[in-house]
């Protein structure tokens, strides 16, 4: 905290920390907070609030004279030594916190800067339920969230929430002359190392500065916000003299700051709906303190939640720092936080947070510099004089901030939002236009909350449900859109690391439950990770320690993480158009069809019926350019065109519709038998879209009766085409992504022959670019990229020259 301005503020008018409390009752306001886990949610916790000791009425015994002013030693008459200071200085309890600008209601804490025009500028700390000790927050590897209302904080104001490594008992145990302790708000310290009349409640006879580690989680008004860790070389509260108290001393006074405005993202935070975070309305602030496998703090992440939407911090938009949206040592080095790095950087800050720190909250203004470091110049939109207290009261006569819903817990446990809906591509328009019928002719009823409830019609008693392999029984029509297995990218934080979901449509007799075919899921992930066959693995945990073995046929857990060996933050292929076909590298389990048929068979490949069928392309005709670019004509019968019979599949009309909308793919699976014929592997229909439960009941794992021999590669390409349709929510969730794109470009000018060469391009795309390229409708598959395949530089490269390698 930058409290230099307080030398001319309220603390000059008040004494600072008396040694002995009088008999006036201290009436601590009660504040409800929450402790959270992912397994059990958030549980209410009782805390109390105490005002800083210097805010209490402090006087010399028998007089109204104070015992010392902020920035100096204690009064020499009252405090010639520590023992005399304890006897001569009296601290009165605070019975009416509201008169000091502090009120609570349930989980809300309101801090007012002015009361009846008089400045009170409260600073308060969080007490344990017993009120005798501070609540020590140990946030390394954890998450801290709170709601905040900043509408009444104009330019020049600062509503702050931060951590200080104060002693838990307020210093009461450090000396027999310390009488007040945490109960009365003693023991304050921060990284600015200010001189105060008392240290740990004991007279500061030597005039030492008071230093300790400080983590500024939130310093903000409605125009700008700032995050800054301030580590120190020594743990706990320590006194300093001389050089140790200066900028090059034992604490990092400047900190490693993060401010969106300084990072040249001026439309992120501010007053009004034109900003991503609208500060005229309440919002949630989520801070995540991420560690490595050894438990060392390495990164500090910030998210916001407003209108039930998760808002990621924006990526740095200035030259020099890495293109990331969180604080780490690399960012701090690049932003010239030299003292921060000198002291030890993020890991040292994490050490203090592991030991435990006290939560402090305050509201204040700065008569010295008008808070320009927070919201003026490069730090924000405020003018040089808007932060002058004389101007502040003209804009807002009663500045205040409200903090509420303070939650502490495991990462991703303290907030709840509707994560980007991983909706599967909608069925064709005629389905929704046919009133209350879906593609199977089954009745659809709308519930009050607009979610579809599916009911079997007369088909239930007339159609025998197939049981080939482990098809879903007619008696088990489950909500497959909810009963899914989720696949995560380990290089991003939840919930923004969800790659895609697959419905539980494969039955495990051994476990008596449902899951997802292991090889189908693994290969889908490998395709998305740029054909990471062999080096891409599924894990049951986010650290990648519990790798799924090849012996596991069906995935039964809800959550899995896909890791690529040697590259935890691997890029993804964003669309089918960007994907390169893996010639001669298809997974071994993806075999050639064993149920061959003659070309131009006029029977449905799945049902083997001859009525109401149509011709479907395995590689869709709309992907003609991809077909040619990847040389897929090699696998045909000689025509080398997308209409080659090997790329054609006869399907019933209803199956054709679902196939075209990626509801299912054709997958080789090992089965015991089919129609009495022993087979080691057989292509079956595998459902990818869980919204149509009855469709799953009819067709999941149904053997494909007829397939053209030689269509293996086309079937694999079709599977990839279907999988990429489910990647859109991951790409358009509002954060930047690392992507890899296969393209053709013109050869270098010095080459004698004019021809095209292929290349894989690794790039970082920000959220706006991802939305523009991949944010179209379900069947719009990045059409805007078409022209980029033969250009030396595409439109994104022109806007961001030089950024063609993995960043962030």
Q: How many CA atoms lie within 13 A of 491 on its CB side?
A: 23
CA 454/CA 444 separation, integer angstroms: 5
Sequence-distant (≥ 6) Cβ neighbours of residue 215 within 8 angstroms: 162, 163, 229, 230, 349, 352, 353, 357
Q: 601-626 as b/e, with b when 16 or more CB fall inside 10 Å?
A: bebbbbbeeeeebeebbbbbeebeeb
Q: Which residue has the tokens 């048929």?
A: 597
**Three-class SS of 402-434:** EEEEEEEEECCCCCCCCCCCCCCCCCCHHHHHC
DSSP SS3 for 29: coil
CA 220/CA 262 separation, integer angstroms: 14
Measured N-to-C along each axis, helices 518-528 and 712-724 cross at an angle, to the nearest 10 degrees, of: 70
| Sign of the torsion formed by the C-alpha atoms of 266, 270, 274 and 276 | positive
Q: 168-178 as b/e, with b when 16 or more CB fall inside 10 Å?
A: bbbbbebbebb
Contact 739/765 with Cβ under 8 angstroms? yes
Long-range contacts of 584-587 (CB under 8 A, 24+ apart): 585/531, 585/533, 586/533, 586/712, 586/713, 586/716, 587/519, 587/523, 587/526, 587/533
Long-range contacts of 448-457 (CB under 8 A, 24+ apart): 452/691, 454/692, 454/693, 454/694, 456/694
CA 399/CA 112 separation, integer angstroms: 6
Q: Which residue has the tokens 């903090």?
A: 403
For residue 59, the cross-strand partners are 90
* Residue 704: CB atoms within 10 Å: 22
Q: Which of 219, 312, 367, 705 is catalytic?
A: 219
Q: How far is CA 321 from the centre of its chain?
A: 20
**Would strands 707-708 and 596-597 be described as parallel, antiparallel, or unpaired?**
parallel
CA 23/CA 15 separation, integer angstroms: 18
N residues, the chain: 808
CA 223/CA 150 separation, integer angstroms: 9
- For residue 602 the two structure tokens come to 């006029």
| Sign of the torsion formed by the C-alpha atoms of 305, 307, 308 and 310 | negative
Angle at 51 between CA 45 and CA 56, to 5 degrees: 150
CA 150/CA 278 separation, integer angstroms: 10
Query: Is 713 in the active site?
Result: no
Query: Is 149 in the active site?
Result: no
| Sign of the torsion formed by the C-alpha atoms of 90, 95, 96 and 97 | positive
Q: Which helix (H) or strand (E) holds 277?
A: strand 277-278
CA 602/CA 605 separation, integer angstroms: 9
**Would strands 238-240 and 209-211 be described as parallel, antiparallel, or unpaired?**
antiparallel
CA 27/CA 21 separation, integer angstroms: 14
Q: Which of 165, 214, 694, 705 is catalytic?
A: 214
Q: What are phi and psi of 105, to 5 degrees?
A: -155, 105
Q: Which residue has the tokens 């305050």?
A: 362
**Would strands 444-446 and 452-454 be described as parallel, antiparallel, or unpaired?**
antiparallel
DSSP SS3 for 573: coil
User: Active-site positions?
Assistant: 214, 219
């Amino acid at each position: 905290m930058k409290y230099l301005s307080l030398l001319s503020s309220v603390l000059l008018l008040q004494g600072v920390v008396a040694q002995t409390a009088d008999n006036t009752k201290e009436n601590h306001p009660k504040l409800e907070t929450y402790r959270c886990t992912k397994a059990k949610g958030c549980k209410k916790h009782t805390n109390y609030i105490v005002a800083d000791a210097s805010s209490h009425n402090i006087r010399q015994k028998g007089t109204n004279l104070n015992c010392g002013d902020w920035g100096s030693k204690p009064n020499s008459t009252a405090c010639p030594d520590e023992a005399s200071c304890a006897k001569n200085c009296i601290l009165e309890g605070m019975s009416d916190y509201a008169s000091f600008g502090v009120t609570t209601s349930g989980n809300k804490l309101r801090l007012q800067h002015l009361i009846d025009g008089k400045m009170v500028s409260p600073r308060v700390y969080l007490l344990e339920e017993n009120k005798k000790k501070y609540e020590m927050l140990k946030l390394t590897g954890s998450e801290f969230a709170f709601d905040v209302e900043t509408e009444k904080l104009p330019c020049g104001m600062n509503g702050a929430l931060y951590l200080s490594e104060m002693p838990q008992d307020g210093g009461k145990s450090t000396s027999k002359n310390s009488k007040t302790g945490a109960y009365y708000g003693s023991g304050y310290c921060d990284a600015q190392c200010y001189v105060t009349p008392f240290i740990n409640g004991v007279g500061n006879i030597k005039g030492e500065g008071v230093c300790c580690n400080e983590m500024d989680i939130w310093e903000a008004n409605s125009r700008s916000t700032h995050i800054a860790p301030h580590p120190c070389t020594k743990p706990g509260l320590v006194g300093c003299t001389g050089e140790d108290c200066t900028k090059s001393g034992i604490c990092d006074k400047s900190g490693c700051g993060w401010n969106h405005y300084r990072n040249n993202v001026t439309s992120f935070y501010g007053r009004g709906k034109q900003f991503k975070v609208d500060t005229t309305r309440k919002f949630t602030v989520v801070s995540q303190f991420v560690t490595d496998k050894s438990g060392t703090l390495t990164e500090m992440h910030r998210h916001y939640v407003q209108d039930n939407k998760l808002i990621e911090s924006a990526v740095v938009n200035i030259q020099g720092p890495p293109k990331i949206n969180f604080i780490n040592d690399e960012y701090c080095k690049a932003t010239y936080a030299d003292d921060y790095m000198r002291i030890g950087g993020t890991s040292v800050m994490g050490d203090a947070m592991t030991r435990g720190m006290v939560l402090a909250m305050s509201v204040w203004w700065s008569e010295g510099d008008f808070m320009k470091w927070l919201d003026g110049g490069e730090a924000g939109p405020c003018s040089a004089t808007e932060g002058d207290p004389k101007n502040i009261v003209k804009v807002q006569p009663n500045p205040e901030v409200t903090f509420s819903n303070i939650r502490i817990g495991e990462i991703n446990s303290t907030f709840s939002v509707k994560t980007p809906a991983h909706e599967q591509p909608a069925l064709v328009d005629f389905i929704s236009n046919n009133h209350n019928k879906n593609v199977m002719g089954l009745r659809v009823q709308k519930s009050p909350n607009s979610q579809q409830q599916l009911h079997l019609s007369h088909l239930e008693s007339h159609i025998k449900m197939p049981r080939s392999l482990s098809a879903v029984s007619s008696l088990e029509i489950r909500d497959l859109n909810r009963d899914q297995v989720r696949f995560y990218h380990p290089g991003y934080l939840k919930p923004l690391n969800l790659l895609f979901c697959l419905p539980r449509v494969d039955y495990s007799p051994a476990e008596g439950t449902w899951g997802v075919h292991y090889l189908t899921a693994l290969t889908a992930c490998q395709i998305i990770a740029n054909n990471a066959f062999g080096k891409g693995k599924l894990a049951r945990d986010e650290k990648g320690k519990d790798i799924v073995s090849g012996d596991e046929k069906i995935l039964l857990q809800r959550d899995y993480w896909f890791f690529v060996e040697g590259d935890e933050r691997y890029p993804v292929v964003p669309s089918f158009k960007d994907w390169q076909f893996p010639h001669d590298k298809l997974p071994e389990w993806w075999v050639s069809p064993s149920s061959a048929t003659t070309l131009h068979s006029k029977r449905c490949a799945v049902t083997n019926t001859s009525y109401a069928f149509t011709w479907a392309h395995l590689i869709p005709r709309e992907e003609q350019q991809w077909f040619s670019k990847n040389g897929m004509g090699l696998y045909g019968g000689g025509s080398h065109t997308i209409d080659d019979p090997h790329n054609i599949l006869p399907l019933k009309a209803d199956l054709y519709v679902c196939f075209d909308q990626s509801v299912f793919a054709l997958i080789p699976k090992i089965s015991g038998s089919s129609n009495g014929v022993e087979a080691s592997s057989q292509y079956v229909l595998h459902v990818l879209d869980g919204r149509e439960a009855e469709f799953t009941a009819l067709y999941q794992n149904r053997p494909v009766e007829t397939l053209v021999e030689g269509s293996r590669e086309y079937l694999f390409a079709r599977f990839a085409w279907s999988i990429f349709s489910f990647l859109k929510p991951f790409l358009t969730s509002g954060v930047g992504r690392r992507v890899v794109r296969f393209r053709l470009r013109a050869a270098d000018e010095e080459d004698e022959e004019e021809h095209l060469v292929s290349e894989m391009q690794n790039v970082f795309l920000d959220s706006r670019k991802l939305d523009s390229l991949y944010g179209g409708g379900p069947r719009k598959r990045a059409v805007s990229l078409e022209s980029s395949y033969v250009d030396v530089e595409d439109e994104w490269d022109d806007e961001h020259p030089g950024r063609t390698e993995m960043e962030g």
